[in-house]
Amino acid sequence: MSDQNKTVEELDVVTIRFAGDSGDGMQLTGTQFTDNTALFGNDLSTLPDYPAEIRAPAGSLAGVSSFQLQFSNQEIHTPGDDLDVLVAMNPAALKVHLADLQENGMVMVNTANFSKKNLKLAGYEVSPLEDNTFDNYRLIEVDMTKLVATALENLDMSPKLKARSTNMFALGLLYWLYERDMDSSINFITKKFAKKPEIITANVKALKTGYFYGETIEAIKTTYRVPKAEFSKGTYRNIMGNHAAALGLVAAAEKAGLNLFYGGYPITPASDILHYLANFKNFGIKTFQAEDEIAGVCSAIGASFAGDLAVTASSGPGIALKGEALGLAVMTELPLVVINVQRGGPSTGLPTKTEQSDLFQAMYGRNGECPMVVVAPATPSDCFNVLFEACKIALEHMIPVMVLSDGYVANGSEPWMIPTVDDLPQIKVTKATDPESFMPYSHAEGTVARPWAVPGTPGLEHRIGGLEKEDQTGNVNYDPDNHHYMNLHRQNKVDAIANYIPEAKAYGDDSGELLVLGWGGTHGAIRSSVERAQKAGHSVSHLHLRHINPFPKNLGEVLSNYKKVLIPELNLGQLSTMIRAKFLVDAQGLNKVAGKPFTTTEVYNKILQMVKG
């Protein structure tokens, strides 16, 4: 089709999902489109979705992998609800995801994979290409595998290896459809496979074949253009949550003037934090992959005792194993940052799916009265800010801090304005040096921090361990009154932090009919639905909690200013239980435990139900 016959339509927002077998390269394809979109200058949000099984049978429903991206010329908060385009590389991907495609949406299928075997694996008795499945959609049928094989026929490669470039064909076709150039992906391929020139040639040829195929296909008569978004002035990059978390730790170590030690054990979806930190040895960062979860956290506690900024990370099952050691960190009043990237549970549950069901575990999941500070990032880029703040709290208050991320936040991505070092707050670290005034369990006014006495400092020898401490001296003490006092003291250490965190401030009116209260990765869906409700004239506000233990000290007052409170959570009502118990507020829950984040529509419909009574 010539450029003269082509129509270009300008759009404000587009949602695309790439879906295929776990070996089809959908995550790479989606990431490349995302990076290209970020470089172009759109606002964006992504949702990678991985199979829960490591090696699910090829072509099966359990083996489907997908990557969703929403991009816009305006500010957006979620990866989108209804899809504009679905790229389905096989029947299973079509079966799993077609219901999310909006009416008259475009679905592109790789017809090469619609074999009798694959149709049967996906549960199709008749091929959807031969019935009325696509009556309400725009179907684009392309034998991508054959076209790639033809383009690569002169390369000395096996047919199987050639077929692995098919995802680049799909990417090229989408680049053409949305008026994008291919330079970013060509540069990526060239760099990634620098030592394998035949792989570079195959992937670049497949990419260009898909792009120029768009010029010839008669079924697509319109291409689309999404103009650049307006951002505040600054330097931006696209960043995933786990990467942002790692950079937040690096920045905190630099501002505190400390070495950073990370001790942990690989677990989905937290492992990337270890991988990213291992790249920063030039900043004096030490990473230790321990033999198990207990060794990981104990090594971090040891590093904290020795005077380092100490971090460990895991997901719910690993946090359960760390429980006794976390009690040790609370007892010894040492600074420690613990990252829990939540996933579906219980037990090993759904390793690759998101959930918010570890809030009670973070609050109460240790033996005895064992309070910890709990904070939670709202978005992928917010992981930088929250991890930096968690380090600041831990070091300045001499206390363990639990960070509740989740799979949606950790694996998603969005544009992030890179801060300058000077704009980051200083982290004040005070280590004891004077043996004359030293008491290991004396506590400073305000922060209630005990002295950080690094081993090897003359005159600062003191008892360390998990047995109950005597106030001031730190000696082992079994006296009932002392034990009662020390339990109150450890709670007071957490409560005192409320004086050092921002007060709660709602988005929208300070009072009204309905307040939607959220935490963690529900931020985007809540904010989008609240904005939609406000535009429709409803009295609705949004308050998102970064600090969960302690709560902002004015939270009770804010809650009392609204007639109704709605709390959407990806659990069965854990924050709702806490809010109802602490503030006696008749908060209503919107709860979902499906391994998937909320859609904007789900939250919006609940808002309408509540404001209309």
Q: H-type helices in 257-381, by residue range? A: 271-277, 293-305, 316-321, 323-332, 359-364
- Order the strands of the 101-110 sheet from edge to edge: 43-49, 64-72, 13-21, 83-88, 101-110, 138-142
Cα dihedral: 406, 407, 410, 414 (round 10): -110
- Which of 39-53, 295-309, 315-329 has the weakest average pLDDT? 39-53
| Residue written as token pair 């005077």 | 307
| Contact status, residue 123 vs residue 95, Cβ threshold 8 Å | yes
Residue 368's beta-bridge partner residues? none
Residue 568's pLDDT is 98
Instruction: Classify strands 64-72 and 562-569 as parallel, antiparallel or unpaired.
Output: unpaired
Share above pLDDT 90 across residues of the chain, in percent, rounded to a whole number: 95
How far does CA 257 lie from the centroid of its chain?
A: 28
DSSP 600: H
Write out the residue limits of the CATH 3.40.50.970 domain(s) in the chain: 237-423
CATH 3.40.50.1000 fits 237-423, yes or no: no
Distance CA 339, CA 311 (A): 8
| Residue written as token pair 């496979």 | 193
- Which of 218-222, 249-253, 347-351, 572-576 has the weakest average pLDDT? 218-222
Instruction: Classify strands 540-545 and 547-549 as parallel, antiparallel or unpaired.
Output: unpaired
Residue 439's pLDDT is 96
> 428-439: per-residue pLDDT in tens?
999 999 999 999
Least Cα distance to 409 among 529, 315, 511 occurs for 315
> 90-122: per-residue pLDDT in tens?
999 999 999 999 999 999 999 999 999 999 999
> 468-516: per-residue pLDDT in tens?
999 999 999 999 999 999 999 999 999 999 999 999 999 999 999 999 9
| Fold category of 3-225 in CATH | Pyruvate-ferredoxin Oxidoreductase; domain 3 (3.40.920)
Instruction: Classify strands 373-375 and 400-406 as parallel, antiparallel or unpaired.
Output: parallel
Residue 3's pLDDT is 54
How many C-beta atoms surround the C-beta of residue 498 within 10 A?
16
The whole model's pTM is what? Answer: 0.95
> What's the whole-number average pLDDT of the chain?
96
Write out the residue limits of the CATH 3.40.50.920 domain(s) in the chain: 512-611
DSSP 77: -
Least Cα distance to 96 among 194, 208, 21, 202 occurs for 21
The hierarchical CATH code for the domain 512-611 is 3.40.50.920
Least Cα distance to 272 among 295, 304, 249 occurs for 249
Residue 218's pLDDT is 84
| Contact status, residue 330 vs residue 366, Cβ threshold 8 Å | yes
Work out the pLDDT band at 58, boundaries 50, 70, 90: confident
Bond before 550 cis per omega within 30 degrees: yes
Which residue type occupies 268? T
Residue 1's pLDDT is 47
